[in-house]
Chains A and B, each alone.
Chain A
Amino acid sequence: MFKIKVSDRENITKTRSFMTNTFSLCAGLVAIGFIFLSCKVNPFFAISAIFADSFGTIYGIKETITKAIPLILIGTGLTFAFRAKFWNIGAEGQLLMGALFGTWIALTFGEFFPGYIIVPMMFIAGFIGGSLCGIIPAILKIKYSINEVISTLMLNYICAEFITMLIVGPWKGSQRFGFPGTNDLPASAVLNLIPGSRIHYATLIVTILFAAILCIIVYKTKFGYEVRVVGENPDAGKYAGINFFRTTVLVMMISGGAAGLAGVGEVAGIHHYLGYPASISSGYGFTAIIVAWLAKLNPLYTIISGIFFAGILVGGDAIQISLGLPAATVQIINGTLLVFLIMGDFFLKNRIRIQRIQ
């Protein structure tokens, strides 16, 4: 007879954490292979095509970086919220609010100011838009004990419908020939691209700075320490006199603001007008949750995990067209990988031994 014995692992090294994550992702890819097989698609071909299309060509790499920008930006913000055990599922709505605020600045003041004034104004407005949308659930949670998962999700739907209402109604532009959407942003409000790509480098710089600053805040400041205490040991936090309301609101200001910045980047860098919510963000707010989780809630690691999942998005879109797979393929890949990452955490936190019993 054998008995499986589970006990807590005492020290989790970085190498072990990295190896476990890598192994989980590989196991996840094997599972995805079986799903491909059930669709009568050669799994080896499909999975290698995902990575060849996203990291194997110059064009693929450029597209991957373009999509990594919002993922990293939102993901870094989420690491912060998740550290405080605030389950912000509303990044999608916060991104849309950022896009909305940024667009408003561009359409209202864009013609009167040069780019070096208008672009920073748009980013600031986007940050404010996203953080307003993030503060609401923070207040609802601390003051009225309303579950943040529900409130952030409901705000996603509300923001999406609100934007649709604007672009089919008062904000509808004459340049769209009757289709929903605002007019094009004025030239001064459009972000420059790295030539030959769709990489809007202003947002890329903002993204990397944001990740670095958050990393310093989390690990080097008193506030970052308080955030970690709020998440890991709230009772000790209350005893030590940490102001939960202030901490949570600030955390969600940063997390929502990050998503708002990403929204400005998408509108000003890629679309150049505010259109349907589903076209502004292809589920970045949800994919970023996995990005943050894979990064083990370390803001700097989100740069790596963000690029990885951007690659999955680009490669997934590519094989969806070339192999005739449904649009939901990317969602399946993301969901499966997240399931395996969670399962991997178990083997990271626990020691599993098989003992022989006489």
Chain B
Amino acid sequence: MEDIIISVLQRTMIAGTPLLLATVGEIICERSGILNLGVEGVMSVGAVVAFIVTFLTGQPWLGVAAAIVAGMAVSLIHAFASVTLQANQVVSGLALTMLGLGLSGMLGKPYIGKPLAIKMNSFAVPFLSDIPYAGKIFFNQSPFFFLAVGLALLAWFFLERTRFGIKVRSTGENPGATETHGVNVSLIRYICILIGGGFSALAGAHLSISYSKSWIEGMTAGRGWIAIALTIFALWNPGKAIFAAFLFGGIFVLQYLLQPLGISPNFLAMLPYATTLIVLLLISLKDPRKLNAPAKLGEPYKKGER
């Protein structure tokens, strides 16, 4: 029984990792006032690029780096459309998702079903991994887990405690006033969209070279969309995103846990999506004022307008 609980919690952490990465990326992006619905597509591009580069070179970290570059490159489309051309961010994000899913399907076609020779090994933190229970759950994990938690804390620090973070947040709240203080709103938004794209791609890389070690079309399975919902659940705070993401990681694991009990696997597959809706409803019922999205989220900014 003990072993089962430890293994379930361990898998919860792994399942929550891509959600955390993508959610933190989306939080940074949305804090600057840009809604990016392209997460699912960028994640998919990240997954396929990481897989292909790792497969060809045998270097997982090179794969990760390539995925981040690719994720940023495709996100540039959304940045150009939504910032420079002031396009509708919902439609532009959807276009990015379609394009990303399409491109990854095309690039990945020759690699479907091929296993990776070299996988990313889990990493045991010296000393800490020897702690009973917690050591196995938290400190003997995929490197992506440490990366995700570390980056989430870093993002929190960066948004809440640095000058650049203030610029990002005020860009999302009141771009007109921010611009009069000599901040380049467009530049800030470009940077945030690219950082967000890098995070999403990193989440995809985790899926293809650490979580499942193979590439299948559609392997992101809506995780990008759940990340967008988690952004709201975490109330645009990267620190809270850690709890939100691992809670949902647990729901993903719960599917496999309940399957032997004879519950329909399709019913269980609904759980993450249904929970997303229920959680958003509960937040809203408890205190609707808490849903304080960045004031200018999703609104294009025209220079010289207040």
Could you list which residues of chain A lie within 8 angstroms of chain B, going by C-beta atoms?
A: 35, 39, 87, 89, 140, 144-147, 149-151, 153-155, 157-158, 161-162, 164-165, 168-169, 286, 289, 293, 325-336, 338-339, 342-343, 345-346
Contacts and interface: CB of A to CB of B under 8 A. Distances in A.
B87 A345 contact: yes
Contacts of A39: 106
Interface string B216-230: 010000100100110
B41 to A, nearest CB: 8
B258 interface: no
Nearest to B105: A328
Contacts of B284: 144-146
Contact of A339 (B99, B222, B232): B99
Given A145-B284, A335-B100, A339-B96, 8 more contacts: A145-B291, A154-B225, A155-B273, A157-B270, A158-B270, A162-B270, A286-B94, A342-B81
B33 to A, nearest CB: 15
Given A89-B94, A165-B266, A165-B267, A151 B99 contact: no
B191 interface: no
Query: In the complex, which of the residues B80, B97, B99, B103 has the most CB atoms of chain A within 10 Å of its own CB atom?
Result: B99
Interface size class of B (residues with CB under 8 A): 35 or more
B266 A164 contact: yes
Contacts of A289: 91, 94
A342 B87 contact: yes
B71 to A, nearest CB: 16
Contacts of A87: 90
Nearest to A157: B273
B180 interface: no
Contacts of B101: 328, 331, 335
B56 interface: no
Contact of A346 (B85, B91, B106): B85
Contact of A154 (B85, B94, B106, B273): B273
Nearest to A144: B284
B212 interface: no
A327 B112 CA distance: 13
B280 interface: yes
A342 B91 CA distance: 8
A329 B101 CA distance: 10
15 contacts: A39-B106, A149-B228, A150-B225, A150-B276, A153-B225, A154-B273, A158-B274, A161-B270, A328-B102, A328-B106, A331-B102, A333-B102, A335-B41, A335-B97, A342-B87
Nearest to B285: A144
